[in-house]
């Protein structure tokens, strides 16, 4: 998609986009074989013949240009098409319980349109052009590099292979994410790096004295966090090695030493991670390694950074300062994985481009039964704000070594989708697992079915009611486009955008139909995988000189190109109503127009 050439450049085929187990369906019909026709009881005629807000949504409420006459035959054909379409089903079953009561376990989605993006970690098992493309065919949208492990040479090879894969196999763009190690606390080394047994009830000194940095034992255990004696107090807990070893602080002895009691049997080992649940730590947002890693990402033009252990809004500003002008387009995703991050979530959300609910460390920092509450709260706030949110950690963990997941894991993925996550993520399953493609395919199929259970009109109506007033112009247009797509039973919303902001805001309101995004900005087309329901494509032609070329001619050219791609991929069907969102002139911040056109080569205009 990112090659050069004219607008008739070869479009990706359906097989490049859809996993092999699924293919796009034939055009919609009134056949009872249609998914939603089978899913619901037959509708009575009076439920089909609802008014399109007296068509005011097409004429007065929006800035709409309709390229067909408003004849009774056209309007009746619109109503007729709705009879077998997703939008009508959502409009006719607006309540959540009503929607859920009519689900059917025998049904499968009518066509393979997965809204939720899949992020996969690339490790030794998958670091090749061929294996990355196998993951893409299974459903992968974003490759993740975990900078807690590996050298720069290794991560460079992942970037190179990802970009080669994108060129070798046509399809949607492939995004690249850099996941930082983040500031952390670790134990020191034991003598000869041997494990030292320790029993429940044993008391010892936890120290920051450097003389124990390479000589920890069962009497003095070194930690590399110098300020621990200033921030912790008696009664607080210290977890070592993801909570395998736990200590209770008994006394702050002096500025270097704590007296603590072991709460369970275990081993003191070298260089293990430490968590301080319920304690506000004052670690810097970025370690020296993180700064170097971010500069590596800027140099290689990664599309997004997953920033670990974000505790406050200022941490995001520190990362942007490292990016500078060269990395200003890189999307920052704040990983929330401690109590401080949860407590300061609102200020973090204001600063960040998106959020990751990183449930691994979060489940150590706060009681495990409370993690799902934090997950729902953070996802809901992101949905209301219109910022993307990723759900991560141990989603299909058992598939690292087994070909089938547990029922609980599948339910976990589905629940994240129902909560409103834009993306779900795989870690060890694809980095070191025996069944990486099977894990991606299972996640794909789970997301696809989970999305069926979402009452989209109910979600849209709630988000619309929660929108800030007065509403920003671009967001108003996004809201109106989604409303029009529901009322018209549109085949798609096609958005022309520079930065992807308009696509993000349309995604916020969760339309039933796909969002086809056309942009000249290759990075925007890649990072827009963060937005639920967006199919991003890079328009291959350079921006013309609008002193010579008429702006509207260029707009129509891009609309035709986007519709043509949608038709070739089976995303839309010929003759569908397409809600087009565009600006009145070039550049960012000028989106203010909604047009409704048919999915035809000439957009319904006479030649």
Secondary structure percentages of the chain, helix, strand, coil, to 5: 40, 20, 40
CA distances from 252 to 209, 256, 262, 604 (A): 14, 9, 16, 77
Q: Are 277 and 370 in contact (CB under 8 A)?
A: no
Q: Specify the 3-state DSSP secondary structure of 226.
A: coil
Look up 393 and say whether it is catalytic: yes
- In the set 186, 236, 301, 381, the catalytic residue is 186
- In the set 114, 144, 359, 558, the catalytic residue is 144
Q: Are 182 and 307 in contact (CB under 8 A)?
A: yes
**Residue 585: partners with Cβ closer than 8 Å, 6 or more residues away:** 546, 551
Look up 144 and say whether it is catalytic: yes
Q: Are 262 and 198 in contact (CB under 8 A)?
A: yes
Neighbour-count burial of 200, counting CB atoms closer than 10 A to its CB (0-12 exposed, 13-18 middle, 19+ buried): exposed
- In the set 393, 446, 498, 593, the catalytic residue is 393
- In the set 28, 272, 311, 335, the catalytic residue is 335
For the beta sheet containing 577-583, the strands, ordered from the edge strand earlier in sequence to the opposite edge, are 64-66, 591-598, 577-583, 492-496, 515-519, 534-538
For the beta sheet containing 220-222, the strands, ordered from the edge strand earlier in sequence to the opposite edge, are 185-186, 273-275, 237-240, 245-252, 257-262, 203-207, 220-222
CA distances from 405 to 98, 163, 356, 394, 411 (A): 30, 30, 23, 11, 10
Look up 186 and say whether it is catalytic: yes
* Distance of alpha carbon 269 from alpha carbon 196, whole angstroms: 7
Please list the active-site residues. Answer: 144, 186, 335, 393
């Amino acid at each position: 998609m990112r090659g050069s050439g004219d607008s008739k450049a070869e479009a990706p085929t359906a097989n490049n986009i859809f996993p092999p187990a699924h293919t796009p369906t034939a055009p919609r019909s009134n056949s009872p074989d249609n998914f939603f026709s089978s899913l619901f009881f037959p509708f009575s005629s009076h439920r089909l013949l609802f008014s399109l807000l007296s068509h005011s949504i097409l004429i007065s409420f929006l800035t709409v240009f309709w390229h067909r006459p408003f004849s009774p035959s056209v309007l009746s054909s619109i109503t007729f098409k709705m009879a077998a379409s997703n939008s009508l089903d959502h409009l006719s079953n607006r309540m959540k319980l009503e929607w859920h009561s009519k689900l059917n376990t025998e049904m499968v989605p009518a066509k393979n349109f997965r809204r939720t993006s899949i992020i996969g970690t690339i490790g030794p098992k998958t670091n090749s052009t061929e294996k990355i493309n196998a993951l893409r065919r299974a459903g992968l949208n974003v490759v993740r590099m975990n900078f807690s492990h590996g050298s720069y040479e290794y991560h460079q090879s992942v970037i190179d292979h990802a970009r080669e894969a994108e060129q070798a196999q046509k399809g949607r763009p492939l995004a690249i994410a850099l996941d930082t190690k983040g500031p952390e606390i670790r134990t020191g080394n034991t003598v000869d790096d041997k494990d030292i047994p320790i029993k429940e009830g044993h008391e010892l000194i936890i120290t920051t004295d450097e003389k124990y940095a390479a000589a920890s034992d069962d009497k003095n255990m070194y930690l590399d966090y110098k300020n621990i004696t200033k921030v912790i107090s008696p009664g607080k807990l210290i977890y070592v090695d993801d909570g395998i070893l736990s200590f209770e602080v008994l006394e702050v002895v002096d500025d270097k030493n704590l007296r603590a009691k072991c709460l369970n049997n275990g081993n003191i080992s070298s260089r293990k991670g430490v968590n301080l649940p319920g304690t506000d730590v004052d670690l810097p947002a970025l370690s020296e390694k993180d700064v170097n890693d971010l500069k590596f990402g800027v140099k290689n033009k990664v599309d997004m950074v997953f920033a670990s252990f974000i505790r406050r809004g200022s941490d995001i500003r520190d990362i942007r300062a490292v990016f500078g002008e060269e990395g200003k387009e890189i999307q920052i995703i704040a990983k929330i994985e401690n109590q401080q991050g949860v407590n300061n979530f609102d200020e973090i959300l204001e600063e960040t481009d998106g959020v990751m609910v990183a449930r691994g460390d979060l489940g150590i920092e706060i009681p495990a039964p409370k993690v799902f509450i934090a997950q729902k709260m953070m996802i809901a706030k992101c949905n209301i704000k219109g910022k993307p949110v990723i759900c991560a950690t141990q989603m299909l963990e058992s598939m690292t070594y087994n070909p089938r997941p547990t029922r609980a894991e599948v339910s976990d993925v589905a629940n994240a989708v129902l909560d409103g996550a834009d993306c779900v993520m795989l870690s060890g399953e694809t980095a070191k697992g025996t069944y990486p493609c099977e894990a991606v395919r299972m996640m794909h199929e789970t997301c696809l079915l989970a999305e069926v259970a979402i009452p989209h009109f109910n979600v849209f109506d709630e988000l619309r009611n929660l929108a800030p007033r007065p509403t920003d112009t671009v967001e108003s247009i996004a809201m109106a486009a989604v409303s029009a797509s529901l009322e018209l039973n549109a085949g798609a919303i096609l958005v022309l955008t520079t930065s992807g902001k308009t696509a993000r805001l349309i995604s916020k309101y969760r339309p039933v139909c796909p969002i086809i995004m056309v942009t000249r900005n290759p990075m925007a087309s890649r990072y827009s995988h963060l937005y639920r329901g967006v199919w991003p494509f890079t328009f291959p032609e350079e921006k013309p000189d609008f002193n010579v070329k008429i702006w509207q001619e260029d707009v129509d050219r891009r609309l035709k190109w986007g519709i043509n791609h949608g038709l070739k991929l089976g995303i839309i069907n010929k003759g569908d109503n397409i809600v087009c969102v565009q600006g009145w002139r070039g550049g960012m911040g000028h989106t203010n127009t909604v047009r409704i056109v048919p999915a035809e080569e000439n957009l319904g205009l006479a030649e």
